Chains A and B, each alone.
Chain A
Amino acid sequence: MHKRSNFINFIFHLIIFIILEGLAIFLISKNSIIQKYKIMQEIRLVQNLTWKNQYKLKSYFSLSKTNQQLADENARLRSFLSDYQQNISQSKIIRGNVNAVSNTSNNAASNAYSDTSSNTINKQINGNEKPFFKYISAEIIQNTCNRSHNRIIINKGSLDGIKEDMGVITDRGIIGIVRQVSKHFSLIYSFLDIDESVSAIIKKTNTFGPLVWTGTNTKYAIMSEIPIHTEFSVGDTIVSSGYSTIYPANIPLGTIESSEVKDGTQYNLKIKLFENYSSLKFVYVTECRDKEEILSLMKEKEDNNEK
């Protein structure tokens, strides 16, 4: 009890002291320019420190929001990049055609064709044409890595434009494919599924083959069906081929760790994946703009073959 009253006394005295001292320092600062300047300097220093810490704290708590904004921005930039790349490749083709036409036909025809093609290019560059791939950023809310058939759930659904069979990627690898969609969430069959495969190429030689998860270690996958004559070396980069309407081309997937000859005719490459699937947070859902057109074309071809 005595100790408690002593403590209360101490606090009381301290408060009175601080009040009186504050009053005295206030008087000093009011009555002397040098002291005022110095005191204000110290106060500003404390203020700056406080503001800095407040800003840090605020930034820390708004990290999630910032991440989401960055992810959205990345998605937009990826769409633009895809659009740009498509425009570049198309413009090259068109220019090649223009040259061919001008070499073989008269000038009037050439100019007419040239005008049309340049209009097309301008139209595409000005953004009137849709990009080849559209990207939607999403946050992973559930993820498994310890099963043979791993599944991921993301926080975007049909209301956000997600549809079945869309691809899911990051800048470090392919994550999976959308299989079920609800209004607000989507279920993804992870790349870490022994039944899933993606088309990949060795970047150096453009040799392609299916890439399948090993089923044992989340860091490794097997790239098979590589012809025996293919030249490659350990450390070569593997990227997505883009030979599908699900994933864009040139997504870095991993590097060659080792190889083994299978059946004497082909290689099986052990690929060390770039992406750490156990710590995934943000992903991009990809949608091919011309998917339906491509699929209908393929369907027509299949029908013709059947006939």
Chain B
Amino acid sequence: MKNNNHYIITIVVIVIIQILSNNYLNLGLYLYPALLPFIILKLPFKIRTINSLIIAFCLGLVTDILSNGILGLNAASLTFVGLLRQPLLNISVNQKDIGRNELPNFKMGIYRYMSYLTILYFVYLTVYIGLDMMSFSPISFTLIKIICSLVLNIILCLILEIILYNRENINDRLR
């Protein structure tokens, strides 16, 4: 129960931070901090694709409504993450772990978890930036923007991971 409350509060806090960053934080053209995908990729293993799709869409929509940006942009991008989450987990995690109430974390293996993180963030950022600009040209600018944002967001994810969930586990893994 405590864990559940903690989980829900975490989600709400992340959404609020995302809304505030969308409205007040400007890191320039090349950097877009996105915390919403972190919520989706940290959904428990047992959450199925249909649920993750709906959660992703709703979270994105709420953020869009409360942000200054284009309505539907986060929803469209996050829905992609919601669709791809389960297939990626199926590849990365043992099938017996899928039904558990655990969250994806470094226990999956650092490389697997980082790949999972990177791929989902890459998809999210590609869709988000693509829809925002409505084109990928100039391709060099778009690529640099995606890569810079990807690096920033992975760093942010690792920081959140350490703060919120797995401080002890990461220390164990890194030793």
Which residues of B lie under 8 Å from residue A13 when comparing CB positions?
Answer: 49-50, 53, 83
Out of A21, A26, A28, name the residue touching B70 (CB < 8 Å): A28
Residue A63, interface by CB 8 Å: no
> In the bound complex, how far is the Cα of B73 from the Cα of A25, in angstroms?
8
- The tally of CB-CB contacts under 8 A between chains A and B is 61
Please name the residue on chain B nearest to A37 by beta carbon.
B134
Known contacts A16-B50, A16-B53, A24-B75, A32 near B83 by CB under 8 Å: no
Residue among B54, B64, B73, B82 facing the most chain A CB atoms (10 A cut-off)? B73
With A17-B83, A30-B71 known to touch, is A24 a contact of B57 (CB < 8 Å)? yes
Roughly how many angstroms separate A32 CA and B79 CA in the complex, as a whole number? 20
Contact between B134 and A34, CB atoms less than 8 A apart: yes
Whether B53 and A38, one on each chain, are in contact in the complex, defined by CB atoms closer than 8 angstroms, is no
Which of A23, A27, A30 gathers the greatest number of chain B CB atoms within 10 Å? A27
Of B50, B72, B82, B135, the contact of A28 (CB 8 Å cutoff): B72
Interface size range on B against A:
20 to 34
B53 near A17 with CB under 8 A, answer yes
Given A13-B49, A24-B60, A31-B71, check contact A38 B134 (CB 8 Å).
yes
Task: Please tell me if the beta carbons of A26 and B72 are within 8 angstroms of each other in the complex.
Answer: yes
Q: Which residues of the partner chain B approach A27 to less than 8 Å between Cβ atoms?
A: 61, 64, 71-72, 75
- A12 is an interface residue with CB less than 8 A from chain B: yes
Known A24-B57, A24-B60, A38-B135; contact A31-B72, beta-carbon cutoff 8 A: yes
Closest Cβ–Cβ distance, residue B130 to chain A (whole Å): 11
Complex Cα gap A278–B134 (Å): 57
Determine if B134 and A25 form an interchain contact, defined as CB atoms under 8 angstroms apart: no
Q: Residue A35 at the B interface, CB < 8 A?
A: yes
Q: Cα distance A9–B70 when bound, in Å?
A: 32
Task: Give Cα distance in the complex from A12 to B70, angstroms.
Answer: 28
Residue A20 interfacial (CB < 8 Å): yes
B53 and A25 form a contact (CB under 8 A): no
**What are the nearest 9 A-B pairs in CB distance?**
A27-B72, A24-B76, A38-B134, A28-B72, A31-B71, A24-B75, A24-B72, A20-B57, A32-B70
The residues of B with any CB-CB pair to A shorter than 8 Å are 49-50, 53-54, 57, 60-61, 64, 70-73, 75-76, 79-80, 82-83, 131, 134-135
11 of the cross-chain contacts (CB-CB < 8 Å) are A9-B49, A21-B76, A21-B79, A21-B80, A24-B76, A25-B131, A27-B75, A28-B73, A31-B72, A34-B134, A35-B134
